[in-house]
Chain A
Amino acid sequence: MGFLTAFYALAFYVATAIFIFGLGYKIYQYARTPAPLKVPTTPAPVTQSGAVFRILTEVVIFKSLFRANKWIWLFGIAFHGALLVVLLRHLRYFIEPVWTWVVLLQPFGKYAAFVMLIGLLGLLARRLLVERVRYISAPSDYLMLILLLVIGISGVMMTFVTHTDIVNLKKFMLGVLYLDWQPIPTDPSLLIHLAAVILLMIIFPFSKLLHAPGVFFSPSRNQVDNPREQRHVAPWAIEHYESRTAPASASTQSPQTAS
């Protein structure tokens, strides 16, 4: 058992733990924190299912971004859409036997990588070239794009230029999953690719990648526009104002707890 195998295997465990617990904590934090006031940006849906649909349009087609800026939308949706296909393609390295739809997805996944890179380069170009965006960019904003580019380029290299030992790679991954470590192939592009992915998993819960869970919890997008029909009060407001005073006790209508 080589040092590299042990290092990468352990790094995967650590990264996965940080990713799951870190993200889990943030989701718990968002879910637990009340939205004490009705603040959907209007016009907003007047039903719960309408609000769910609104969030879906934001998550799936980036509707607000489309209205706001076509270039960012184009590069953004190219990157995210292609990333999804590429990630699904990667399932083949973690399951045995490989599901048919994952097999059928392989050719699309291979070329989606280029779409993903174009999206990332477009976003990077905007960040460098558009004065306003450059002004608001911190080093981490560039590094995040570079990290994703490293992942994408090293992946494309293995698919199209210097093939890695994919059979042994899969043995390694399954070994990590089933706690039966197998030697990792040592091609530089693979080691770079995996190291960058591990780093991305670790920084996910501590970075702006929190936009992924955040969008689901954004009160301006996920609230139903019904403040006159349904009373909406946060638990802290009830505790602070209504547990002793008249308004709540004067009524039989129980306020909807703000969520």
Chain B
Amino acid sequence: MAKIDFKVPQFRPYAAIPNIQPGVMKGKGPYVAKPEMQKPLGFPGELVDNWQQVAIEKMGELLKKYRSLQVYLDACVKCGACTDKCHYFLGTSDPKNMPVARQDLLRQVYRRYFTFSGKYFPNLVGAEDLTREILDDWYNYYHQCSQCRRCSVACPYGIDTADISMAAREIMDAIGLGQKYSNEIIGKVFKIGNNLGLPGPALENTLEGLEEDIKMDTGIDVRLPLNEAGADVLLVTPSADFFAEPHMDGLIGYAKVFHQAGISWTLSSHASEAANFALFIGSYDNMRKISMRIREAALDLKVKRIVFGECGHAWRVAYSFLNTLAGPFDFLDPNYPVPQHICEFTYELLQKGALKLDKSANDHRRITYHDSCNVARASRMGPMPGGQFIIPRELIKASCNYFYDMLPETLYDQTFCCGGGGGLLTDELIEVRVKGALPRMEALKQVVDDYGVTHMAAICAICKTQFAKVLPYYGFEMDQIVSLHQLVGDAIVL
């Protein structure tokens, strides 16, 4: 663990709401994108001279394009129901991390420039001119939001801070104040094809290496095909699955599932990335561009189905937006939803009896499951509402003998974010990431103490990376986070 210059939160005897400590997380925010990272996304390279004017114009444009923003900025009554729902507030105590206060950073400016009351009675309604100080607060605190939507579930009007933080980031991009982490990665996707900047030949090598690993482990030739035209299924998976732990073990799991089911599949070097970081910066335009790669790959490779690997926000974009952004997909097999989640795919096979699983292969593990926020609150699996909670758990139960859920108020549609989502998975934000993980770490601690849980499974690349990083801060081991399909893969009898 690297040297740290902040205090890691202590586990609390009971989950009390912290007293507010104004300004404790005030800061410069994450690194600002350099001009060469801004340009490929269509944003000004650096802060433009007339940034106030451009920002207000951009806000006006977004208000006309997104009803969500217009209604959410108007409707809040400051009831306070959301104030204790954000993991970043619970972990940091900074009141600007309360969802309503985070929204108010934008709302105060909206009121000043777009409402009668804010124009003529600014002090009465808390309206503020857009100053450099407010812009700094935007940059800092809108990058302490993982866009997890937990507050939206609590709001009587469904006001979604994720939408507001996306709009704020879009406004900041429009004036040349972009975030390095997200924007640099989006640039890599455009230039090379994936977040990690892994070029085609390197990807091919990696996949061959994984095939050899499986062969060594099991003695069986399980393939990880790349760019194979005519395959039934195009698998689009986060590029972390090619490189990072525990992600790779998940990819091996998918490969074993395809192998046993006898369904031909392929990865694509053109769409070698499921992630779509343009979601985090609220950019419809860039989100669409990234999504179009998947359509193009599906057409080029003449596949019949598209399946997404384990990635939370990617599944949100895929499930909720892909048809909107890159559809219609009437050239694919109409018997399957487009796209499908790898868990839906595996579950379907499981129900048909097409998979042979030996649960005892996972007997050395006692498993709990972390609902990833974008899967839980912004998408679905299967035909039933809530299938996104049932299907992954059914897969774990079919693969493991020992499964224990954490407290229900930390799961399902009230699940706590890992602390690293929404474009926050970057080293300079480690303090907010560690502190934001507190509620999930506490819930994990409870099942570790009560049931001897050894591993937590997840189906999100960001969650896996974030947990691998922050688990040690809380006294756990970094390898206690596993991919769901690692469990499936280990249990499959080939």
Contacts and interface: CB of A to CB of B under 8 A. Distances in A.
A53 interface: no
Interface in A212-231: 214-215, 217-221, 225, 227-229, 231
Given A43-B380, A136-B101, A143-B124, A247 B295 contact: yes
Interface stretch (A62-70, A169-177, A192-200): A62-70
A42 B66 contact: no
Interface of A: 26, 29-30, 33-39, 41-46, 58, 62, 64-65, 67-69, 72, 76, 123, 126-127, 130-133, 135-141, 143, 203, 206-208, 210-211, 214-215, 217-221, 225, 227-229, 231-234, 236-237, 241, 247, 251-253, 255
B376 interface: yes
B163 interface: yes
B68 A126 contact: no
Interface stretch (B73-81, B134-142, B172-180, B259-267): B73-81
A135 B79 contact: no
Contacts, number: 226
B42 interface: no
Contacts of A34: 65-67
Contacts of A46: 383, 385
Most chain B beta-carbon contacts within 10 A, residue among A68, A229, A252: A68
Interface residues of B, number: 75
Given A64-B155, A215-B157, A231-B324, A141 B385 contact: no
B337 interface: yes
Interface stretch (B115-123, B184-192, B219-227): B115-123
Most chain A beta-carbon contacts within 10 A, residue among B17, B72, B98, B156: B156
Nearest to A35: B67
B157 A30 contact: no
B215 interface: no
B78 A41 contact: no
A219 B69 CA distance: 10
B153 interface: yes
Contacts of A33: 63-67, 70
Contacts of A143: 124
Interface in B368-409: 376-380, 383, 385-386, 388-389
Interface stretch (B4-12, B82-90, B461-469): B82-90
B338 A228 contact: yes
B158 interface: yes
B209 interface: no
Nearest to B375: A42
Given A130-B80, A219-B68, A39 B160 contact: yes
Contacts of A255: 327-328
Nearest to B154: A68
20 contacts: A30-B71, A33-B65, A41-B153, A58-B156, A62-B156, A64-B81, A64-B155, A69-B79, A123-B79, A133-B79, A139-B125, A208-B76, A217-B67, A218-B157, A220-B160, A221-B157, A227-B320, A228-B323, A237-B324, A255-B327
